[in-house]
A and B are shown apart, each in its own frame.
Chain A
Amino acid sequence: MIKMFSLKQNCWFIRKVVIWRAVASIAWSVLLLPVTSAVFVLLSRFSLFHPIQWISECTSLLTASSTIFSLVVLCGVVLITGLFNLEFYTLVPSIPCSRMALLGTVLHPRQCVHSLVYCTMGMLVMWCASVTIGGRYSTLGIPCKQSESGEVVTCLNEYHLFLLLAGAFMGYSHSFLGVVKNMYYVSFQPIQQYKYPRFKGCLPMVVKCSVIQSLYSARNFAALYFFFGYVPKTWISSTLHLQIDSSLQPLDSLTGLLDFSLLYHLSISGTFLYFTWYLTVLLFRIYVTEAYSFPVQSTFTEDAEQCLPKVLAETNTLVMKFLALQDLALLSQHSLSRRLEVFSLSQPGGHPHNWNAISRECMSLLSELTQRLLAHQDAVASNGRVKSQSASIDTRSASSSSSVVSGTEDVSETPRLSVPLRTPGSVFTSSVGGMHSALTAPFTPDVDSPFSSPAIRRLVGQQEPRSPWFGTVQSPHIMRRGPKLWSASTESQSNGSPPASPATVPSPPAANQKPSFLAQWLQNRREQVKSFLAKRVLIVYLFNKLPEASSQALFADSQAHIWALQGLSHLVAASFSEDQFGVVQTTLPSILSCLVVLLEAVDRHFKLPHASSKPVRTVCSMGDSTYKTLRFALRAALKTAIYKITTTFGEHLNAVNISTEHRKRLQQFLEFKE
């Protein structure tokens, strides 16, 4: 638990900004708690026919000591929720590429602790709610008369138990949906707003979401209690030695559940519960995504690390990098004086350090995306599945894939290689070979990229990149192509055999070595198990790649690229009239070719199957689904960025030194034919 809350305090930005923003958001959530509690009290005691009595009861209740105590408990709950938000929030969503990966995330120990804490908090809130509602809900034990002897004993109050269990259920479903719907993903709005108007604008949405979520949960919980309600009831009554009042209608029956007042109180309390949590999440999102203005340059050297050029180069603190890129995009559009600082020369020496650092950082970000896209295109075969690794030899790939599809066992007839064959069904292999790694590692390609936050890495618990994804991108093409994106880890490692370097994978010496009989037998077994599993519906269901998930995952952090594109293009366009020393001119060719290369990669990516299909729009949910459309936003931002530069420079672009193909592409933009 202590390790969980070990905040990333190494960075000045976390210490000085993010922590205080989180504290402010939690403080506001606590301050808003009395208001929401008062509304809850009013609604829970509502009676249409006695309005005077209703109001007076509520005012006396609001000042009662039990309510004050409930408020203190609720404050604790809000505090813990806020801490969880701070610990779990992520700017890059984790996108599981198969249902198995999703399952792995849900069952991860860290997530289990999260669920447990939320269950407890849900019970606490529901306890407060039941005390506040009062009447038949207030305590767990009630005095009742036994039917035979007539003596008064303590009986179990099933209504109270029902609400407590509902709280635990809602807590768990909140935690579960938090993973499935990426509740902790924080997205940035396309426009800037002050915090209060933004809060006011989002409040109706939060109310609507909590009401809908509470109704769904109430329905699901009622169904669950109807079937399995007797289990906790008998357990509680036996451990606490409480009698069960047989004169009352049991709640796990149809007539017991069809109690309008009970269902009303359940959904009202559920709404209160969800609203408290959602409000905390909303305030946290608003505070964290607030724009932060970094100085472009500082007169004091000790502040140099807080300046924009230094901050942009930072890779460990993701939130700082995102806010710095956002600030860059904003200053490039709105602030003339800060743009002039970017274009300025250093005082002794006269070097354009600011512009060089900023443009270099943006371009490296963009070319990193280009490399990622190219690697993905290499890895994905034309049929949309992950190409087999050993199938750098294409014919073998075809034969082996057909063998799996047809289900025949002729795999064993193919020549042995020292590294086992990887077929399109290789996903199954890895799951059999190393079930634990497949369980915990989602096939998210960028989990191990330098851009993902340590929080996600911890969340998915990926100690070493062993998911099939990592194996498959290790085709020799990519190794030749240039910078290595993912650390090498081949399938053979998980089998205990020495790691084979990817370059030697298709090499013939492997065939010269006579494999031992045992190894061959094992190999045969493996193939049999694999093809056996491949035919099972459930396994296929769990391990099949979700369509467009890999595409979403590739662009999961593209908000950063969008800002880099906006910032770069607006700065270049502004330099046309504002750049006195011509510092931008020297980098203009490389910026243009970087953009065009990225455009080509993006264009090719959208030709892949599922890449251009639109995701289904979610109706109402607190989980943010903007990451699903980030690839479209990136494509639009990229084209707009190129148009911004070409329309500003016009015919002057012909004087820029770039290659002929790029010039041809830019000519298309000059003629508005894109």
Chain B
Amino acid sequence: MCSLGVFPAPVTAAQTLFERNNELLSALHPGEHSQACDLPSPQFTRDTLKGHSRPESSSRSVFLDQRDTLWMRSAGAWRDAGLYGLLDEITNSAEEVPRFLAVGSACVLALLRWASSFHGSLFPHLTLSSDEMVAEFSQMLDWSDSALRSFAWHPHTDKFAVALLDDSIKIYKSNSSPTPTLKHRCQRSVCALQWKPLCGSALAVACQSCLLIWHVDPASLSTRPSSGCAQVLSHPGHSPITSIAWSPTGSLLVSASPVDTSMMVWDVAAESAVPLQRVGGGGVTYLSWSPDGSRLLAATPSALFRVWETRMWTCERWPCLKGSCQSACWSPDGGCLLLSMQGERVIYALTFSDLTGGPKAASVVADLSETTFPGPDGDLTVGGEVCSLSWDPRGERLAVLLKGDSQADNHPSVIAVFKTRSSPVFELLPCGFVMGEAGAEPRFMQFHPHFQHGALLTVCWSDGRISHVPFYFSSAGLLGGDSPQQALASNTTNPSSNKLYTEQIS
């Protein structure tokens, strides 16, 4: 088991640039220039983006108060807020309605409130408002405060989509082509983005009220695709959507909402959905499809998660001891699942194999409790709960976003990077910490899906910057690569990955 204590001390003063020759180099080192990777790294500040400060229903206060008839008001309340609104309206206008109606509706309202509070006591997350729920279950750390709301690499090309605070989405490509901005009436509080695999254009967006599928023509030069390019998928009772996952073959899309006990399996082109309902857990917060497409992890807000097999869509229940499952990632071959729980400072691993029929218990593979490193300007504490996990597509690097303590000033959120190896036993080895510029904390990270020379970690920082950190290494499966970086890496170290990291174990 690996712990943060064996990590090399983080360099706080400067931004981490890349990994080479087995060590993470930062801008401090003399003679090292930032490797020119031609990927765009835009920066967004909160001031330039205006978010939606007002909720949907408060536009009423702008207009003059006018007394409609009771019928009109009741109809409006029914339309705006459903049964609750109707009953509330009737109860409030007691002088206009017969007495028995007002009393009756007040009783029904009280009964409903009691029932929903009972339900809420069973599943506390149901008492949250929609925005709070998205902030709670998003993979983006500190979602409500961040200028960046979500981020997604395209699985096959060098382009990525960024969702911003003002509910717009921008698409960046590696060359200097125009960056399309996507805006839609229904596109509010974007919680997750994912590009469709085996497709050049389709981007799925999880919004507060619905699911949007944008079809952005890669050949088009338009910077503002019309909202006609977006497909709106919605299902009653299935909002806010906090997680989406495309199947690796691109044929199905699964969406999850913390208030809906069923997750939806969409056939996007046909706009039809099959609900898969399991009542326990009270909702589904996070979805992750294994890269080989055979399994799907579904986390719930309670101390329970499920692993679905995607052939006949049956599931295994995995009750946890303490908290709910916060984040997870699959190994590239789909055989190993790493999980982090809320309130626990460890990473669990589940190993699946078709022969044995699945694991019996999760094993702890890393300990991430607080560790203090002495530094030139005071001690630095690192460690804490895991916010998100990301595994590079070659299965050699694992990035872990650790939540800091916002009260303490020397305990920031950091990204810890592990080296992973799977044979003879699964093991995590320390690699280092990825640091940002002074004062910037990481909020979100994702590995580039097909970086040529190793792995490339893209990090969204709290100052609104998006930066890319390459890890140059020679993979065990790709010996004799022709790229200069690989040649460089193999000059100094033995190309066999088994021997490459032995010196680190101490």
Contact = CB atoms under 8 A, between A and B. Distances in A.
A630 interface: yes
Contact of B270 (A193, A194, A566, A629): A629
Contacts of B270: 190, 626, 629-630, 632-633
Contact of B268 (A197, A636, A673): A636
A609 B104 CA distance: 55
A217 B293 CA distance: 46
A205 B312 CA distance: 21
B218 A637 contact: no
B269 A672 contact: no
Contact of B201 (A334, A647, A674): A674
A108 interface: no
A640 B198 contact: yes
A674 B219 CA distance: 8
A640 B313 contact: no
B269 A636 contact: yes
A190 B277 contact: no
B196 to A, nearest CB: 9
Interface string B40-78: 000000000000000000000000000000000000000
B250 A190 contact: no
B157 A632 contact: no
Contacts of A673: 200, 218-219
Given A643-B250, A647-B198, A674-B200, A193 B272 contact: no
A644 B198 contact: yes
Interface in A601-655: 614, 617, 626, 629-630, 632-633, 635-637, 639-640, 643-644, 647
Contacts of A635: 269
B275 interface: yes
Given A629-B271, A647-B156, A674-B201, A191 B313 contact: yes
B277 A194 contact: no
A81 to B, nearest CB: 25
Nearest to A570: B249
A201 B269 contact: no
A566 B251 contact: yes
Contacts of A629: 269-272
A201 B277 contact: yes
B276 interface: yes
A566 B274 CA distance: 20
Contact of B267 (A193, A334, A633, A644): A633
Contact of B249 (A197, A614, A644): A644
Contacts of B276: 201
Contacts of B275: 201
B313 A637 contact: no
Contact of B274 (A201, A630, A640): A201
B306 to A, nearest CB: 13
Nearest to B254: A191
A672 B450 CA distance: 14
Contacts of B223: none
Contact of A626 (B251, B268, B272): B272
A501 interface: no
Contacts of B293: 333
A494 interface: no
A643 B269 contact: no
A631 to B, nearest CB: 9
Contacts of B249: 333, 570, 640, 644
Contacts of B250: 640, 643
In which size bucket is the chain A interface?
20 to 34
Which of A190, A192, A633, A637 has the largest count of B CB atoms less than 10 A from its CB? A190
Contacts of B154: 672
A193 B312 contact: yes
Interface in B159-215: 198-201
Interface in B19-55: none
A476 B113 CA distance: 72
A633 B269 CA distance: 5
A617 B233 CA distance: 11
A189 interface: yes
B202 to A, nearest CB: 8
Contacts of B2: none
Interface string A332-353: 0110000000000000000000
In which size bucket is the chain B interface?
20 to 34
A672 B198 CA distance: 9
B314 A190 contact: no
B272 A672 contact: no
A171 B313 CA distance: 37
Nearest to B252: A190
B99 interface: no
A626 B272 CA distance: 7
Interface string A644-674: 1001000000000000000000000101111
A636 to B, nearest CB: 4
A672 B156 CA distance: 8
A194 B312 contact: yes
A673 B220 CA distance: 10
A191 B199 contact: no
Nearest to A291: B312
B499 to A, nearest CB: 28
B269 A192 contact: no
Interface string B219-263: 100000000000000000000000000000111100000000000
Contacts of B201: 674
A628 to B, nearest CB: 9
B311 A334 contact: yes
Interface in A187-207: 189-194, 197, 201
Interface string B313-328: 1100000000000000
A536 B253 CA distance: 49
Interface in A214-249: none
Interface string B146-161: 0000000010110000
Interface string A309-347: 000000000000000000000000110000000000000
A190 B272 CA distance: 9
A647 B248 CA distance: 13
A190 B274 contact: yes
Nearest to B268: A636
B265 interface: yes
A640 B155 CA distance: 14
A674 B310 CA distance: 28
Nearest to B250: A640
Contacts of A566: 251
A166 B219 CA distance: 60
Contacts of A190: 251-252, 265, 267, 270, 272, 274
Contacts of A637: 251, 269
A564 to B, nearest CB: 14
A185 to B, nearest CB: 14
Contacts of B277: 201
Nearest to A573: B249
A635 to B, nearest CB: 7
Interface string B264-286: 01011111101111000000000
A45 B474 CA distance: 77
A527 B311 CA distance: 61
Nearest to A627: B270
B265 A632 contact: no
Nearest to A632: B269
A672 B218 contact: yes
Contacts of B314: 194, 197
A357 B200 CA distance: 32
Which of B154, B249, B251, B276 has the largest count of A CB atoms less than 10 A from its CB? B251
6 contacts: A190-B251, A190-B265, A669-B200, A672-B200, A673-B200, A674-B199
Given A333-B293, A617-B271, A643-B250, 9 more contacts: A191-B310, A193-B312, A637-B251, A639-B198, A640-B198, A640-B199, A640-B249, A669-B200, A672-B218
The 5 A-B pairs with the shortest beta carbon distances in the complex, nearest first, are: A636-B269, A672-B200, A643-B198, A190-B267, A629-B270
Interface of B: 154, 156-157, 198-201, 218-219, 249-252, 265, 267-272, 274-277, 293, 310-314
